[in-house]
Amino acid sequence: MTLERWQSRLAESLNGRPEPSSDPWWQQTASSHGLAVTRRIRVSWAFHRLREAGGLSLRALESACQEVLLARWLDQGLGNAPSLEQEVELLREDILAATRDPSHARSICLLEITLSRGLRDRERGLHGQRISAAPTRIAFHGPPLDILVAVTEGVSPPLDTTITWVEIWPDTPDRWSIIRSASGEETARDP
Amino acid sequence: MHPFGADALLGIGCPYLPVFPSLFSPEVIDFVEVTPETLAVAHLVEGALRFTLDEQRMQDFLAATCALPAVLHGVELSLGAAHGWEEGALALYDAFITRVDVPWLSEHLSFQTYADPSGARKWTGIPLPLPPTLEAVELVRSRRRALERRYRRPVLLENAVHYLPDLPSDCCLDEVGFLNAVGRGGRGGLLLDLFNLHCQARNHGADARHWLDRLELDLVIEIHVAGGPEIEGFLLDGHDGPVPEEVWKLLRETLPRAPRCRAVVFEVLDIVAERVGEETIRRQLRRLREETAPWRRGMRDDARAMAIAAR
């Protein structure tokens, strides 16, 4: 067996896709305690990467919900690459689906999704096509910066009845600190 | 010639830990070991890994370590991947070396990427070991030669830890034979991680001293000492705690027999540094200074004798 083939086979075994073999080494390895330990270490590293990639959105979820999502992602074999850039949007959509409406977790997740899409579009030079587009508005149930700081510190403040909008313009997604309170009319139209 | 050339004694060092910038003073250590990947942001561009140095992290690194020489210790190159190494890591080292001169580079004897059955490039999730085979020896040696040509500096190769049954091998090669074979030739040699060696010996029922007796210690340019936890019957290369007494003993026995050794590092991973704590790290570095004092004195005397002879 070539080295390339051996490496592919070992890595696939580690990721739970072992290839049946009559070779004694592969048979011994497949059922070995050492491979099981190596797999658990891989999962713990992937868990760490996924938690980092989930960002503040993931941290804003209740811990039980976080665990369910992380377990599902790990089952899908995510988290092995040093950069989870390609998976991040998928992960955030998954987090969004797990949030309650209204909740701080939902507001934060919408904020992170909008920001990353805006930054990505700008990197790809798409913003010029949408220069006249309206801003995306995200409702926060309380002062947005206070909520973000609290969630960063692991605290979930109570939902405020006053809504504050964060507005993100497509051509300046990095200047999102344009915050204003929703008018009575806006709150009535889009509670 | 670089002021801290490959022949210069660097002394004792530790990895760059941004959470403890005050460690990086000549009163505490003689040099810093830096992993450029920790100063960069990783991106995936059309399925390939690309790194961009983070300017703020670079500035913090330069400010904290400006009084010390640095050596480069890579982690994402996937040196032993048979289908191809990580070009993005090379581009990162290129960019780093234009800003920070280093006397040598070191890499791990492992692979982190592979081609899946469909031929697509995938990541293993953790470094996996290389089997002691002639094909693996040839691959590593050719990659090391390519790195030494590219950077015009010595390249050191670090021994790894694994928890699998004994790996398939070619006749006449085993763990130690593999290290001797890949360490020979070229300008560099081995980065001997004594904690990894201790883990390997413990986990596979071998005797670390017996391995050291067979290892060609004149290939060793740098030594790592570290600590790690024991989990489920395996000693893990966690690099997240104090050095065990057995490893200090191995260091005392190895250093006088490694005539080309220029540097000894207490290795602790940056992601666990806060948990380990600055005081523990400082204590380990003080111990490292004490343990290596005779070696450092001897090296300085040798250097002086060589300088006199050359004059």
Residue-wise pLDDT for A104-143, tens only, equals 999 999 998 888 887 777 766 654 555 456 778 898 999 8
Please list, in sequence order, all residues whose beta carbon lies within 8 angstroms of the beta carbon of residue B119, skipping any fewer than 6 positions away: none
Residue-wise pLDDT for B168-180, tens only, equals 999 889 999 999 9
Which of A12, A38, A82 is opposite residue B123, by nearest beta carbon? A82
Residue-wise pLDDT for B67-119, tens only, equals 899 999 999 999 999 999 999 999 999 999 999 999 999 999 999 999 988 99
Residue B301 burial by Cβ neighbours in a 10 Å radius (0-12, 13-18, 19+): exposed
- The percentage of chain B sitting over the pLDDT mark of 70, rounded to a whole number, equals 94
* 3-class SS letters over chain B: CCCCCCCCCCEEEEECCCCCHHHCCCCCCCEEEECHHHHEEEEEECCEEEEEECHHHHHHHHHHHCCCCEEEECCCCCCCCCCCCCHHHHHHHHHHHHHCCCCCEEEECEEEEEECCCCCEEEEEEEEECCCCHHHHHHHHHHHHHHHHHHCCCEEEECCCCCCCCCCCCCCCCHHHHHHHHHCCCCCEEEEEHHHHHHHHHHCCCCHHHHHHHCCHHHEEEEEECCCCEECCEECCCCCCCCCHHHHHHHHHHHHHCCCCCEEEECCCHHHHHHHCHHHHHHHHHHHHHHHHHHHHHHHHHHHHHHHHHC
What is the structure's pLDDT at B307?
A: 58
Q: Would an 8 Å CB–CB cutoff place A8 in contact with chain B?
A: yes
Q: Is the pLDDT of residue A148 over 80?
A: yes
Query: Per-residue confidence at A161, pLDDT binned at 50, 70, 90?
Result: confident
Q: Would an 8 Å CB–CB cutoff place A100 in contact with chain B?
A: no
Residue-wise pLDDT for A72-88, tens only, equals 888 888 888 888 877 78
Q: Say if residues B51 and B89 touch (Cβ distance below 8 Å).
A: yes
Q: Quick check: bond before B129 cis, omega within 30?
A: no
Query: Per-residue confidence at A169, pLDDT binned at 50, 70, 90?
Result: confident
Mean pLDDT, all residues of chain A: 84
Which of B83, B128, B234 is opposite residue A4, by nearest beta carbon? B83
Q: Say if residues A110 and A138 touch (Cβ distance below 8 Å).
A: yes
What is the structure's pLDDT at A18?
A: 84
Count of CB contacts below 8 A, A vs B?
96
Q: Say if residues A151 and A59 touch (Cβ distance below 8 Å).
A: yes
Mean pLDDT throughout A57-62? 90
What is the structure's pLDDT at B4?
A: 43
Q: Say if residues B121 and B113 touch (Cβ distance below 8 Å).
A: yes
Nearest alpha-carbon partner for B199 in B238, B240, B241, B173 = B238
What is the structure's pLDDT at B2?
A: 38
User: Which residues of chain A lie closer than 8 angstroms to B235, CB-CB?
Assistant: none
Query: Per-residue confidence at A184, pLDDT binned at 50, 70, 90?
Result: low
- The tokens describing B240, both together, are 């997240």
Q: Could you report the predicted ipTM of this complex, rounded to two decimals?
A: 0.92
Closest Cα in chain A to B41: A83
What is the structure's pLDDT at B187?
A: 87
Q: Would you tell me how many other CB atoms lie within 10 Å of the CB of residue B113?
A: 25
Query: Per-residue confidence at B39, pLDDT binned at 50, 70, 90?
Result: very high
Q: Is the pLDDT of residue B278 over 60?
A: yes
The pTM is what?
A: 0.86
| Top-confidence residue, B231 or A130 | B231
| Top-confidence residue, B252 or B308 | B252
